[in-house]
């Protein structure tokens, strides 16, 4: 029996087929350039990999093409018992994963104003999967769910209460499945129950967010009502005085849509360097490009500030800091810069261990702090798809617990 994990973007469809007995992927890939010229599917299994050029004009066609590809590679569609869908924004309506009923689908659609770049694409995947795999249970797994344990004094903004009450203006947070996964892996590595662990989780990829996790629960996170807030990111601004946008809009005569596009797609590391969004390019040119030096120091400084504030927010001894996601797992130079001059807070990095801790070098979960570091530092590869699959399987089997500390995840052991 299989569970299919789907992550639909505006023009992409990432998929993984998991064997429910082993909880491991047997087939995975990515459909790209959907509704564009030259669309294609890249795929990989233990015994086969390749690229298939095929015109896909919408997500329904893309999913149908993926299904054909699965059958060509010996996976029977009748053996797919459930489909788990990543949904970016669940607002305050969903504090856990749920079956994607018609009512749930309507609510996700109603929340699209909060995530216009993400939720509509996620919804198209759910609707397409219901048509192509009508026998399979559809499950929605929300990026925002993990952060619904934040106290109100952390998730509320200092704006008129009517904005919160009537418009839902508040912090929601994202990357929840990643923060959940790595926090539980850290607890396992520490040999303690997650409920006894205080962790600062740093998910640093093209998008990036920090999360303060106290006794296993999220109490604060850097992203806000949308994924635009917080850390300096590949192409997103991170925290910004909102008056800047009004000032620039007036001075340059820009439209609201263009301001939003620049804030999301042309700012961050790309905006500072004017040519690079990939941290590997930034690190390669640190010595000969002033923009790269500045971007590197701005990003590391912002992360440092969040670490310090989250140590204060947790208010108890912090057990560990964990780096994850593409940059967090491979950017050993950035990790070193972030952890530098933090000894007074009990953070001491082992430079040799840090330099070897990269997934592109084949490294797995690695402690990268010195033995005498009061706060341990780890690199842990994230596995958001496994959270998605195990939530989906638990809902399918009737064993799901909405309190994630009480869920019997395989990766907790």
Give the pLDDT of residue 116.
79
Q: Computed over its alpha carbons, how large is the radius of gyration of the chain?
A: 21
Q: 3-class DSSP state for residue 19?
A: strand
pLDDT in tens, 316-328: 999 999 999 999 9
Q: What is the pLDDT of residues 5-57, one digit of tens each?
A: 998 876 788 899 999 888 889 999 989 888 888 899 999 988 888 999 999 98
Strand extents, DSSP E, 88-207? 98-99, 137-142, 198-204
Are the beta carbons of 218 and 173 closer than 8 angstroms? yes
Three-state DSSP class for 33?
Answer: coil
pLDDT at 346: 96
What is the average pLDDT score of the chain? 94
On whether the CB atoms of residues 15 and 6 are closer than 8 A, the answer is yes
Residues belonging to the active site: 143
Confidence of residue 289 (pLDDT cuts 50, 70, 90): very high
Instruction: With cut-offs at 50, 70 and 90, classify the pLDDT of residue 119.
Output: confident
pLDDT digits (tens, 9 = 90+) for 225-238: 999 999 999 999 99
Q: What would the pLDDT profile of 242-267 be if each residue is shown by its tens digit?
A: 999 999 999 999 999 999 999 999 99
Does pLDDT of 413 surpass 80? Answer: no
Q: Using an 8 Å Cβ cutoff, are 63 and 129 in contact?
A: yes
Which secondary structure element, helix H or strand E, spans residue 209, and what is its range?
A: strand 208-214
**Higher pLDDT pick, 299 / 52:** 299
Considering the entire predicted model, what is its pTM? 0.93
Domains of the chain, earliest start first: 2-142 (3.30.420.40), 193-382 (3.30.420.40)
Mean pLDDT of 292-314: 98
């Amino acid at each position: 029996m299989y569970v299919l994990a789907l992550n639909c973007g505006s023009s992409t469809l990432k998929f993984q087929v998991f064997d429910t007995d082993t909880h491991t992927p047997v087939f995975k890939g990515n459909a790209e350039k959907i509704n564009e010229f030259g669309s294609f599917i890249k795929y990989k299994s233990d015994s086969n990999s390749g690229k298939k050029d095929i015109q896909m004009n919408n997500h329904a066609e893309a999913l149908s093409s993926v299904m054909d590809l699965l059958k060509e590679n010996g996976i029977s569609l009748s053996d797919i018992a459930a489909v788990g869908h990543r949904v970016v924004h669940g607002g305050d309506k969903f504090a856990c994963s749920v079956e994607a009923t018609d009512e749930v689908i309507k609510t996700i659609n109603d929340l699209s104003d909060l995530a216009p770049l993400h939720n509509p694409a996620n919804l198209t995947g759910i609707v397409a999967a219901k048509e192509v795999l009508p026998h399979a249970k559809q499950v929605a797994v929300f990026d925002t769910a993990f952060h619904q344990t934040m106290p109100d004094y952390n998730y509320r903004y200092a704006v008129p209460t009517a904005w919160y009450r009537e418009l839902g203006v508040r912090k929601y947070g994202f990357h929840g499945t990643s923060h959940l996964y790595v926090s539980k892996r850290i607890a396992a590595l520490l040999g303690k129950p997650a409920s006894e662990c205080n962790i600062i989780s740093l998910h640093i990829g093209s998008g990036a967010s920090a999360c303060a996790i106290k006794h296993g629960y999220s109490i604060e996170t850097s992203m806000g009502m949308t994924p635009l807030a917080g850390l300096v990111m590949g192409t997103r601004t991170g925290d910004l005085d909102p008056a800047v946008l009004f000032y620039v809009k007036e001075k340059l005569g820009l439209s609201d849509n263009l301001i939003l596009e620049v804030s999301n797609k042309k700012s961050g590391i790309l905006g500072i360097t004017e040519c690079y969004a990939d941290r590997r390019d930034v690190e390669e040119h640190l010595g000969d490009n002033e923009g790269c030096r500045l971007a590197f120091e701005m990003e590391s400084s912002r992360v440092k500030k969040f670490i310090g504030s989250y140590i204060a927010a947790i208010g108890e001894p912090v057990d560990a800091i964990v780096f994850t996601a593409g940059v967090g797992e491979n950017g050993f130079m950035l990790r070193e810069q972030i952890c530098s001059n933090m000894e007074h807070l009990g953070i001491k990095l082992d430079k040799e261990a840090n330099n070897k801790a990269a997934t592109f070098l084949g490294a797995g979960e690695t402690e990268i702090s010195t033995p005498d570091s009061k706060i341990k530092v780890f690199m842990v590869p994230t596995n958001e798809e496994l959270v998605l699959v195990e939530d989906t399987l638990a809902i399918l089997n009737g064993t799901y617990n909405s309190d994630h500390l009480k869920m019997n995840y395989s990766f907790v052991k």
